[in-house]
Amino acid sequence: MSIGLDQYLMLSAALFATGFFGVLLRKNTLVIYMCLELMLIASTLALVAFSKFNGTLDGNVFVFFILTIAAAEVAVGLALIVALFRRRHTIQVEELNQLKH
Amino acid sequence: MSTELLQAAAETNQWWAIGPEMILGCAALGLLVLEIVMPKDKRKLIPHVAMMTLLVVLAGVGLNFDTEWKDQELFGGLILLTDAGQVARVFFLLSSLLVCYFGTVCLPRARAPRVEFYHIVLVVTAALMLLAQSNHFVMFFVALETVTIGFYILVGYYRESTRSLEAGLKYLVLGALSSAIMLFGIVLIYGAVGKVGLEGGAHTGFEFSVVADFLRHHPDNFLATAGALLVLGGVAFKIGAFPFQIWIPDVYQGAPTPVTAFLAVSSKAAGFAVLLTLVHRVFAPLEGVLVPLLSLLAAATIIMGNLSALTQHNTKRLMGLSGVSHAGYLLLGVTASISVPWAAGAVWFYLFTYMLASMAVFGVMAHLAGADDADQELEHYERLARDRPFLGAVLAIGVGSLAGIPPLAGFMGKLLLFVAAFQAHLYWLLAVALGSVVVSIYYYFGWIKAAFFESWQPSGNATSPSVRPVPAAPSWVGVAVMATLALATVLLGFYQAPLTSWLLK
């Protein structure tokens, strides 16, 4: 079996779905965070596959922008999680419920 | 690749065309340098430097409103300067100016770093302005993420307050989720467009005009349509439209008040600037899908926003959820603008009236907020009109305009949107919107009632609620700012010509 564009896209869609449902269903903020990164990586994989099979380079260039943005997001996100953990001693989603009415 | 192609691409790099954004970016770095080199007692001036920069850039954009680069693709198709883009620039600069001013009121109360706030506000403003002019999905995504990541930091800015941090984390998780969905949409569009093959090497599957061309010729392409829907879903998150509005109340409540104002006004306006660009320039050929989808979104958003705002007692949550219903009215305008072109101007008019009224209300909130910024209940407004009649009057004008009471500006904004919807034959949507306006008057007047009328107290009860201290009087700058906002709201209700002649071309 040869690996073509469709296989790459299926893998990418599966990764994206894993990430998406992980964000919705998992309770640990750090795991949610990893799932968010997984979604970005799924997009990156699809982008590289499209770029290769369409014979255009700009998809590859966009990947660098996405990596930079993901890094910035991780930096801010982990800083927030650490600051919150210092005050609340928990990163479980169901215990972060101070904001209600 | 030949060098001629590179030279041709470099010729469109008109750096002066994005001068305002460059100045803001440099000024943002300059603020950080100033904090290092300035003596400690002079650092209070740094916010004023930020505000002066915004003012100068605003004057510059106003003077050069008709730029020579209008309707030209710059930077190899990354940026397209349009009239709407210039209007957006003015809007974002004005709004950031007010946010910086509220920052000078609120930040000294909290134990938080002072200078970084203005730094991030300036960077976010520059990114917002670039976002409104983007003509390319890479530019679009990078500008949008710069805005969003800046907002993550701003929402969690009060590091000492667990509520601010919690709001920041919630915004971050849901914001990153929506960004990822949008990114996947962009990738699908790129894949679909690139597959067909294009003549000429300079164009790519990311450019708005190329995508629109592709959709015109292949309206039934599954990948591209799915991508377009995912991108619109990401935008719907930014404006807080119906299925994506869950983050709004928590984030608005936890964020520092100036940031709540920034989110409510600039972030929402950015969403609509982007939505108008996408609907008119990129996804225009998908009209058959867009009209029913957007009308459904608008109706659901209006109803959800108003019904959930009915039960709120925290004023920041109330502003957030009523803002959801405002997003619904604006979506109504966007839907109408597909068949009635002048409705796009009406959307901007509504955004301007919304900015004036919300900023007036947020100004009052900024002056009233106690030590805990997330704790601003309706009960705290009791006796406001007696203790601080000026703040009470500004609040009444702002809230009245948000509710759409004639003759205030908010009424004219709603009227224009509804006329546009009528011309676009969106009758059932109009009925939903009109019904919801009546509902919204109920909760807005609950707020005014709290400020102006003494609530009934059972006689002789021993456990009367602790009396809150009378809020400090605003400084003369604060009086001037809020009086200007209130006056503009009243005047725009009577004379719309200056703004409409500019927006409804």
Give the distance from CA A50 to its chain's centroid. Answer: 19
B3 domain-assigned: no
A66 domain-assigned: yes
Return the residue of A nearest to B152 by Cα. Answer: A76
Size of interface A-B (CB pairs under 8 A): 123
CA distance A1 to chain B (A): 22
Q: What is the DSSP string of B333-381?
A: HHHHHTT-TTHHHHHHHHHHHHHHHHHHHHHHHHHH--SSTT--BGGGG
* Count of domains forming chain A: 1
CA distance B30 to chain A (A): 21
B376 domain-assigned: yes
Q: What is the DSSP string of B242-290?
A: GGG-TTHHHHHHHS-HHHHHHIIIIIHHHHHHHHHHIIIIISGGGHHHH
Is B145 part of the contact surface with chain A (CB cutoff 8 Å)? yes
Closest CA to B266 of B89, B105, B141: B89
Q: What is the mean pLDDT of residues A9-33?
A: 93
Closest CA to B349 of B428, B419, B396: B419
Q: pTM higher than 0.80, yes or no?
A: yes
CA distance B192 to chain A (A): 9
* B418's tokens: 């509804």
Return the residue of A nearest to B251 by Cα. Answer: A99
Return the residue of A nearest to B187 by Cα. Answer: A47
Residue B457 is predicted with a pLDDT of 59
Q: What is the pLDDT of residues A56-70, one digit of tens each?
A: 888 889 999 999 999
Mean pLDDT of chain A: 89
Interface test with chain B among A54, A74, A85, by most B beta carbons within 10 Å: A54
Q: What is the DSSP string of B172-195?
A: HHHHHHHHHHHHHHHHHHHHHHHH
Residue B310: how many other CB atoms lie within 10 Å: 14
Residue B393: how many other CB atoms lie within 10 Å: 18
Return the residue of B nearest to A83 by Cα. Answer: B159
Return the residue of B nearest to A5 by Cα. Answer: B191
Per DSSP, helices labelled H in B107-161 are 115-133, 137-155
* B128's tokens: 């917002």
Give every residue of chain B whose pLDDT is below 70, as ranges.
1-2, 5, 9, 195-203, 455-468, 505
- Angle, alpha carbons B414-B302-B311 (nearest 5°): 110
Is A56 part of the contact surface with chain B (CB cutoff 8 Å)? yes
Residue B199 is predicted with a pLDDT of 55
Is B310 part of the contact surface with chain A (CB cutoff 8 Å)? no
Residue B490: how many other CB atoms lie within 10 Å: 16
Half-sphere exposure at residue B337, Cβ-oriented, CA atoms within 13 angstroms? 26
* B21's tokens: 């954004």
Give me the amino acid identity at B242.
F
Q: Are B493 and B397 in contact (CB under 8 A)?
A: no
Residue B173 is predicted with a pLDDT of 92
Q: What is the pLDDT of residues B359-404, one digit of tens each?
A: 999 999 998 887 777 788 888 888 788 888 899 999 999 999 999 8
Alpha-carbon separation of residue B225 from B177, B282, B482 (angstroms)? 20, 12, 46
Residue B466 is predicted with a pLDDT of 53
**How long, in residues, is chain A?**
101
Is A59 part of the contact surface with chain B (CB cutoff 8 Å)? yes
B499 domain-assigned: yes
A28 domain-assigned: yes
- B162:A58 CB<8 A: no
Residue B462 is predicted with a pLDDT of 45
* Count of domains forming chain B: 1
Is A81 part of the contact surface with chain B (CB cutoff 8 Å)? yes
Residue B334 is predicted with a pLDDT of 94
Which chain A residues touch B173 with a CB distance below 8 Å?
A: 23, 29, 32-33, 36
CA distance B146 to chain A (A): 8
On the 0-12 / 13-18 / 19+ scale of CB atoms within 10 A, B494 is exposed
Q: What is the DSSP string of B68-81?
A: TTTT-EETTTTEE-
Which chain B residues touch A54 with a CB distance below 8 Å?
A: 191, 194-195, 197, 205
A101 domain-assigned: no
Picking from A56, A59, A101, the nearest residue to B314 by CB comes out as: A101
Picking from A51, A76, A96, the nearest residue to B153 by CB comes out as: A76
CATH number at residue A34: 1.10.287.3510
Which chain B residues touch A58 with a CB distance below 8 Å?
A: 138, 204-206
- A36:B187 CB<8 A: no
Rg, chain A, Cα only: 17
Q: Which of residues 7-46 of A touch B (CB under 8 A)?
A: 9, 16, 19-20, 23, 29, 32-33, 36, 39-40, 42-43, 46
- A59:B190 CB<8 A: yes
Half-sphere exposure at residue B466, Cβ-oriented, CA atoms within 13 angstroms? 2
Return the residue of A nearest to B378 by Cα. Answer: A101
A26 domain-assigned: yes
Q: Which of residues 419-448 of B touch A (CB under 8 A)?
A: none
B7 domain-assigned: no
Return the residue of B nearest to A95 by Cα. Answer: B166
Return the residue of B nearest to A76 by Cα. Answer: B153
* Contacting residues for B396 by C-beta, under 8 A, at least 6 apart: B448, B451, B452
Which chain B residues touch A20 with a CB distance below 8 Å?
A: 177, 180-181
The domain in which residue B83 lies consists of: 18-455+471-503
Buried b (16+ CB within 10 A) or exposed e, B178-204: bbbbbbbbbbbbbbbbbbeebeeeebb
pLDDT of A101 > 60? The answer is no
The domain in which residue A57 lies consists of: 5-95
A61 domain-assigned: yes
Q: CA-based diameter of chain B, in Å?
A: 90
Is B164 part of the contact surface with chain A (CB cutoff 8 Å)? no
ipTM of the complex: 0.95
Q: Are B359 and B485 in contact (CB under 8 A)?
A: yes
Residue A32 is predicted with a pLDDT of 93
